[in-house]
Amino acid sequence: MEVDFIIVGNGLAGISFCEQLRAHHKTFVVFDNHSQQSSLVAGGLYNPVVLKRFTPVWKSKEQLQIALKMYHSLEDEFNIKIDYKMPVLRKFSSMEEQNDWFIASDKPILSEYLSIKIVKNKNQHINAPFGFGEVLQTGRLDVKTLMDAYKEYLLKQERFIEIAFDYKELEILDNGFSYQGITGKNIVFAEGYGLKKNSFFNNLPLVGTKGELLVIHAPDLNIDFVLKSSVFLIPLDNHFYIVGATYNWVNTSNDISKEAEEELLSKLKTFVTCPFKIINQVAGIRPTVKDRRPLVGQHAIHKAMYILNGLGTRGVMIGPYVAKQLFDFIEYGKPLENDIDIKRFQ
């Protein structure tokens, strides 16, 4: 088989790049064995504001424009529902935080995202005497449904190979690459934390940050918005909620831990007072970078070899944006932004 691109990884980064290839009628094949779970365990929020400091997310406007267009297109094509519009309410812990919110909402770069009205708490099962600030243009992407549907599509197209990629078996040719009988003009590595085993790019400063989430059932809670306090509380259907997430820079296994469960529960109970039951707990390693920017670019020696990685905690928003940048760089020679280009570490 001969293709234009070999893609390694079918998480948010890989899917986003595949969508660029499909839009431009490029042929490709995807290798993925689901060894990396960061996309699957993501809460799936898209939110243009850093709620700890009331500051804008990097390139938030551009990211949302490209990402939402892509997700809506996939909903129509695959006949699935993945984009759930819902506000994010930031719980205030004091009058000072309310004042900080109003100051931030006056800034032009944030005015379209931060409501100037304080939302009063009317839920008897939530402890929020100072109310909430509402973030606009937010929602939740059902990442698992997206990944399952995309895998099914690729399998039907005979473009998906569900095996672990062995970097030692990759043969470098004069005009591309060969791997297990497949010849590709280009190869893109989008394997998340699996990059640590990639001998071509493992010199890059990718940091694995373990994150764990809980799924709880709370029939009495009855909220239809994302609540941000010491943890996020994200509503699903039928009174189920995601609680997350933890950040562990030492443990890089995909195993759940009692410590993470206790941390999430202790934080949740500071603002939720109704009974609930733990239904599930999941863990995954986020591919993060020390400067909180993605790793995108070209191998220093093998010019048809590329990387798309380091999406961190905001892969839903940033994945489609940086995938477009990489495609434009490869096909049209358009320079990558300095903030994301891996040359910044060379």
Torsions phi, psi for 300 (to 5 deg): -65, -30
pTM, two decimals, is 0.94
Q: Give 232's strand partners.
A: 228, 244
pLDDT interval class at 39 (50, 70, 90): low
Tell me the domains of the chain and their CATH numbers: 2-42+144-205+291-345 (3.50.50.60), 87-137 (no CATH), 206-289 (3.30.9.10)
Confidence of residue 32 (pLDDT cuts 50, 70, 90): very high
Q: What proportion of the chain, given as a percentage, has pLDDT over 90?
A: 91
Average pLDDT over residues 2-17: 97
Q: List, in sequence order, every residue forming a beta bridge with 185; answer none if it has no partner.
A: none
**pLDDT digits over 50-100, tens only?**
998 899 999 999 999 999 999 999 999 999 999 999 999 999 999 999 999
Average pLDDT over residues 219-230: 96
* Banded pLDDT at 346 (limits 50, 70, 90): confident
pLDDT 10s digits, 290-328: 899 999 999 999 999 999 999 988 999 999 999 999 999
Q: What region, left, alpha or beta, does residue 109 occupy, with left being phi > 0 and alpha being psi -120 to 50 degrees?
A: alpha
User: pLDDT tens digits for 144-181?
Assistant: 999 999 999 999 999 999 999 999 999 999 999 999 99
Q: Residue range 103-113: average pLDDT?
A: 95
CA-nearest of 134, 72, 84 to 235 is: 84
The encoded tokens of residue 25 equal 């009628």
Q: Which of 31, 6, 33, 32 is nearest to 21 (CA)?
A: 6
Q: What is the average per-residue pLDDT within 188-200?
A: 95
pLDDT at residue 40, rounded to an integer: 60
Rg (CA), the chain: 21
